[in-house]
Structure 1
Amino acid sequence: MPVSDSADRAPGAATDAERGTDGSSDGLPINELFYSLQGEGTLAGVPSVFVRTSGCNLRCWFCDSYHTSWEPTHAWMSLEEILAEIESYDADHVVLTGGEPLLHDDSVALLEALDDRDYHTTVETNGTIYRDAPIDLASISPKLQSSTPTPERDPQGEGEWAERHEADRIDLDTLARLVADYDFQLKFVVTDADDMPEILELLADLRATAEVPIRDDDVLLMPEGATRERLADTRSRVADLAMEHGFRYTPRLHVDLWNDAPET
């Protein structure tokens, strides 16, 4: 797919090179569109079609979708093209992911079209953008301080994103709106016990702000790691933390099965 530097522009600002084959500017920058098993969260193991958009407003140093954030690549697809490919697979579940899919205006149009076709939709979001859309499960992954690409952790070695990422990674009001309006899961990427005080503080703040209860069962701890080797270092620690705090543990099933292969 062609490399583009346009994925972080204002949503909906398509260039001539980013239009669907029918000439319309409607559509989305698609990094991947594939059929697999949901690997994370409460629906882990469910056959699903994944629609991965390109572009993100954050830059986690450990991002497992590097080509949607640090070096965004995509093909521009119209909504009709996206829907046709989704319908070619035998699946009732669609996962809209990224990058940050809610950056894009036409993510709402896609979700509306999927709702009309009776698909169950999961939206994977970092929780910093709110959209009014038919979402069956908002899989919200607030980014912890440990995600910030400090100069020594910046995969591009430039350190330009650290301040912006740190300033934008948590939006409590947006998180509160998302959990109030949608069925949700709060999914935290965890490396070790050092992450827990921040998670507990954020949960306390969110529970005080949100208009709906947030149960411990709504909170998922997921081990950091996009390869089997890295998960071997983190999974048992994170499982122990989930048991200690009464939260849910979620695997990264796709990594266990296919390591870091694309389209999994």
Structure 2
Amino acid sequence: MRVSEIFVSFQGEGREQGKRCTFLRLAGCNLTCRWCDTPDTQDAAGGRERSADAILDEIRSLGVRRICITGGEPLLQADELLPLLRVLAGEGYKVDIETNGTVPFGPVLPWAAVCMDIKCPSSGEESDTSLLPLIRPVDTVKFVVADQQDLDYAAKILREHPIAGEVIISPVHGADYHAIAEEIIGWNHEIRLQLQLHKQIGMR
């Protein structure tokens, strides 16, 4: 697997926000989002090749039982990732996978929860909303929003697609948080407004 880095930090977003977490960040992405936190991971030839055994040994040595697999787009390496997920799940790790919603994630669902980041217009990219029926109550759908156009798009998706998992509205760092909050407080949908904690505290 092409690995960008493995490290421990606080989970900055999603259901597990604020909890200690081991991050396995894989290299390579099929999108170039305007709001990408980690543009250096977009190159599939980046990072370094590591075996599943070496990855597992490092994860175990860090001693944190919560794992977030991110990227890049980690599901581009799904074939190599699946055996690792089976071992982690078998050893009792709680695993979350962050995905940009362009790669089918059905194969990983027995072993991990998914956070599907639906790309809004300001990102310059687009997710595959036909994947939304795969979302379960343990999964999460996230909209990173910068402006009213993004909010209108998110509202449209929520009207057109029943979503079983938790829905998060995450303002772009530095956006008008108050205006976004004022807009979504009246939405007829169960949502969570969430600022990116890792950016607030200056950690990766």
Structure 1 length normalisation: TM-score? 0.70
1:70 shift after superposition: 6.0
SS in structure 2 opposite 1:140? strand
Structure with the largest fraction of strand:
2
Return the match for 2:9 from 33, 36, 44: 36
Write the deviation string for residues 26-64 of structure 1: whole angstroms up to 9, x where unpaired. Answer: xx1111110011010121111000000011111102211
Equivalents in 2 of 1:107, 1:234: separation in Å?
38
Q: Does 1:80 align with 2:53?
A: yes
RMSD: 2.0
Q: Does 1:255 align with 2:199?
A: yes
- Structure 1: gaps spanning 5 or more residues: 1-27, 149-164, 208-212, 226-230
1:126 aligns with 2:100: yes
Match of 1:64?
37
Conserved in 1, the CA contact under 8 Å of 2:27 and 2:74? Answer: yes
Secondary structure of 2:140's aligned partner? strand
Aligned equivalents of 2:7, 2:36: Cα separation in 1: 19
In structure 1, which of residues 184, 190, 196 is the aligned counterpart of residue 145 of structure 2? 190
Instruction: Mark the CA change 1:201 to 1:96 in structure 2 (over 3 Å): closer, same or farther.
Output: same
Q: For residue 220 of structure 1, what is the aligned residue in structure 2?
A: 168
Q: 2:36 is aligned with what amino acid?
A: C
State how far apart, in whole Å, the 2-side matches of 1:185 and 1:47 are.
19
| DSSP 3-state at the match of 1:41 | coil
Instruction: Check if 1:172 corresponds to 2:129.
Output: yes
> Counterpart of 2:160 in 1: which secondary structure?
helix
Q: Which runs of 5+ in 2 are unaligned?
A: none
Aligned partner of 1:116 among 83, 90, 94: 90
Q: TM-score, normalised by structure 2?
A: 0.89
